[in-house]
């Protein structure tokens, strides 16, 4: 399983859940420090720095030598392009976010080869919105709380103090300055 934005609030938890389910988990994150943290602290098997100067696709291919069965996409953009080309037959792409496009003036066009890849590899792409599973919220909260309490997963929170710093905290999310969930403490 490949997880983009693996150091973020959603990616960090998605990857740890996949690991608990028996998957080999590779993440992507911005910067070697974050990648090292994802592996060391969150237990991912590997992590690729999407900002590195050499080829992103090649780096993901090296980290996923048997291809990708599941891609949990939080970013869209170049990581999605690379992941799609490395998907295994009947792979699944879970589209959860598109952070690479959130702060751009004009969204980039989608990957031109998507229809061909989807057909040839029989890939399933599906959007994921947590509210679609609201009826299972209590079960999820109970299970996640148990995993956190027993140290099976870590739920890192990156706290910024002061309401006056909320704009900086939000901008920092788009710049990738957080590890885990970003919160602003107001008192």
- Full-prediction pTM beyond 0.85? yes
Q: Where in the chain is the domain with CATH 3.40.50.720?
A: 2-155
Distances (CA, A) of 120 to 79, 87, 170: 20, 11, 40
Q: Is the dihedral of CA 12, 64, 174, 81 positive or negative?
A: negative
Continuous segment of H or E residues that includes residue 26: strand 26-29
Any idea which fold 2-155 has? Rossmann fold (3.40.50)
- Tens of pLDDT, residue by residue, the chain (187 residues): 999 999 999 999 999 999 999 999 999 999 999 999 999 999 999 999 999 867 999 999 999 999 999 999 999 888 998 999 999 999 999 999 876 666 677 766 666 667 777 888 999 999 989 899 999 999 999 999 999 999 999 999 999 999 999 999 998 888 888 899 999 999 7
């Amino acid at each position: 399983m490949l997880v983009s934005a693996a150091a973020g609030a959603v990616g960090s938890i998605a990857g740890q859940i996949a690991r608990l389910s028996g998957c080999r988990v590779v993440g992507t994150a911005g910067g070697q420090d974050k990648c090292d943290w994802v592996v060391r602290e969150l237990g991912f098997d590997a992590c690729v720095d999407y900002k590195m100067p050499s080829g992103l696709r090649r780096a993901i291919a090296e980290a996923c030598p048997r291809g990708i069965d599941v891609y949990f996409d939080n970013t869209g953009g170049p990581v999605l392009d690379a992941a799609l080309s490395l998907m295994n037959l009947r792979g699944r792409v879970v589209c959860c976010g598109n952070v690479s496009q959130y702060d751009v003036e004009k969204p980039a066009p989608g990957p031109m080869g998507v229809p061909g890849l989807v057909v040839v590899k029989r890939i399933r792409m599906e959007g994921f919105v947590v509210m679609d599973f609201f009826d299972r919220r209590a079960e999820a909260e109970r299970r996640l709380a148990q995993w956190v309490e027993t140290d099976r997963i870590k739920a890192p929170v990156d706290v910024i103090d002061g309401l006056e710093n909320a704009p900086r905290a939000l901008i920092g999310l788009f710049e990738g300055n957080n590890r885990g969930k970003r919160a602003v403490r107001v008192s």
